[in-house]
Chain A
């Protein structure tokens, strides 16, 4: 069996978050929780590998979070993952990226794996740190920002494109390895009935004790970064609305004003 692990996170849909203009605080009520978008690309790529030999390739989704993160894992199974594991324990609550990677590494060490896929970053924190830190804790070769993926027919290596700001690198990595995936990699599939109703597919919930993680390396207290303060940015004052009889009038007022204010 060739085993692929996909790391996934349940996140609030940050496009739906609003700010209360009076208090300046976040309104999270009614904001839907979703499978982190880049993680959906990671799962899709794993499932594409599985499609090549479904009986001999096993895809396990691993996550950490509160019990309701099972909803997201159910979605992963409905897309085609074989099983899912959720680490859910107050002891790991409040973990920063370093502590989170320790916790998830402990989960992965309990599972057989040949390859690990994760999303490039999660939309709630946008840090892109947990994937590389898991690779470090597991001493695995790492490629981030993967935008194209190919696995050798002998499944001993992969050839990938790693996105750069002004192009890409073509990289060959041995298996086992860890890859973090961008949205350019693929288009995630929809959930399907076979996935939803397959009774062999299960979600396992583990505690910190189950994964035998060193409790001095997880949770809020063990985290090397702390939030000192948090706040919302100050809204910028409203500027000048320009109007006129025609588009030409308005455009001329604009260009004239930019010149007058020495902007151009």
Chain B
């Protein structure tokens, strides 16, 4: 890699992924996280939302980026950018990097972000950290995070260290291990970040900022693959990351028909259906329901783990839920180690009783001393 002059690289970019002219939630979460990081970075670092697409798709979106905290928006528009393709998006983003030299770029770890970011990293010859769940710049903040959430011995770290590298923390080995990664030798520092883990800012509808148009060089010949069709799945959209309540089933259901009860349960409590990897692998339910290290990371208000033993890779995806309720026949199931409320019993008997009790919550709460 050739020497880079780090002083030239400024600002924090968020790839503001849009599909059909709608900004992905994770992009707004990353703008919020970018704001937090910019404060740690200092030097008037700005949070810049990078909007890529057709002019029609992008034209109304800068306002939304400002509302959620962006200081500035770069728009990159071309009819050839209407449908996402690796070739076109990689080309225009690499051109924008060369021109504007951002210090950090954050992408949502979506099926598009995880396709795009590695190709950009390969072309720009920079480091990329995948699927981050926590980011820090200041070492003091990193120490606070580590002490509160991890087993890391922080004795060797100095709170006053002026180091301003982006510290990117991610799970590895199926969530058994966490690693904090840095990219000390290349710029921009790049990360994909899991949807659902960072916090959106409170919207400020009056916020505004500068919009800069960037016109890249792009021709039809640059697009080697053709997107013939985009098919939305006919089934109801599972939005695990947005759900307040998730009712999740595991191998303890005994078979695919167990998800009928879980669906009824979810309908009753206003939740959505999740699943452990075992059930997805067994073909009992679609992969879009999977919670865990290789599925979706969730942190709902209530997570009902029904017949889920609690493999580490599953825990990695749900243990930050505000309240975890575990129902399992096996009193030694690891899921009870992270549960706020544990019930040892037959889920086929317990769940219908919870559904019965649900509408009576007020009276039941009063009945408890």
Contacts and interface: CB of A to CB of B under 8 A. Distances in A.
Contacts of A260: 365, 368
Residue of B165, B340, B346 with most partner-chain A CB within 10 A: B340
A231 B152 contact: yes
Given A167-B233, A224-B186, A250-B343, A14 B174 contact: yes
A143 interface: yes
Nearest to B186: A224
Nearest to B366: A256
Contact of A174 (B110, B175, B185, B224): B224
A19 B357 CA distance: 38
A14 to B, nearest CB: 4
A159 B112 CA distance: 19
B356 A248 contact: yes
A215 B148 CA distance: 41
Interface stretch (B36-44, B60-68, B211-219, B331-339): B331-339
A179 to B, nearest CB: 10
Contacts of B151: 24, 231-234
A85 B176 CA distance: 31
B55 interface: no
Nearest to A239: B340
Contact of A128 (B130, B176, B180, B361): B130
Main SS class of interface, A:
mixed
Contact of B130 (A126, A166, A227): A126
Interface string A151-170: 00000000100111111111
Interface stretch (A76-84, A108-116, A132-140, A188-196): A132-140
B218 to A, nearest CB: 16
Contacts of A143: 86, 225
A228 interface: yes
A55 interface: no
Interface string B75-118: 00000000100110010000000000000000000111011011
Interface residues of B, number: 100
Interface string A120-133: 00011111111111
B126 A224 contact: yes
B131 interface: yes
A172 B150 contact: no
Nearest to B176: A17
A198 interface: no
A173 B227 CA distance: 9
B364 A169 contact: no
B229 A236 contact: no
Nearest to A141: B224
A224 B1 contact: yes
Nearest to A248: B353
B7 interface: no
B129 interface: yes
Nearest to A227: B179
Interface string B143-175: 000101111100000000000010100011111
Contacts of B366: 256
B57 interface: no
Given A170-B231, A235-B338, A141 B225 contact: yes
A236 B338 contact: yes
B119 interface: yes
A243 B343 CA distance: 7
Contacts of B323: 258, 261, 263
A263 B167 CA distance: 33
Interface in A84-129: 96-98, 101, 123-129
B297 to A, nearest CB: 12
Contact of A251 (B130, B344, B354): B354
Interface in A171-216: 171-174, 177, 183-184
Contact of A264 (B115, B117, B302): B302
Contacts of B86: 132, 141-144
Given A169-B230, A172-B228, A142 B115 contact: yes
B337 A255 contact: no
A177 B128 CA distance: 23
A68 interface: no
Contacts of A1: none
Contacts of B287: 184
Contacts of A126: 130-131, 171-172, 174, 293-294
A241 B174 contact: no
A97 B341 contact: no
A69 B177 CA distance: 23
B199 interface: no
A225 B173 contact: no
Nearest to B232: A167
Interface in B39-59: none
B114 A144 contact: yes
A258 to B, nearest CB: 7
A228 B319 contact: no
Contacts of A173: 224-226
A129 B130 contact: yes
A239 B150 CA distance: 19
Contact of A137 (B122, B345, B357): B122
Contact of A15 (B123, B313, B322): B313
Given A133-B119, A230-B179, A236 B173 contact: no
12 contacts: A15-B313, A125-B130, A127-B130, A169-B83, A170-B231, A174-B225, A223-B127, A254-B341, A254-B343, A255-B354, A258-B302, A261-B323
Given A223-B127, A227-B181, A233-B175, 12 more contacts: A26-B176, A126-B293, A143-B86, A164-B111, A222-B1, A231-B152, A232-B177, A236-B337, A238-B336, A240-B340, A254-B354, A263-B301
State the 3 A-B residue pairs at the shortest beta-carbon distance, nearest first. A256-B364, A224-B127, A136-B122
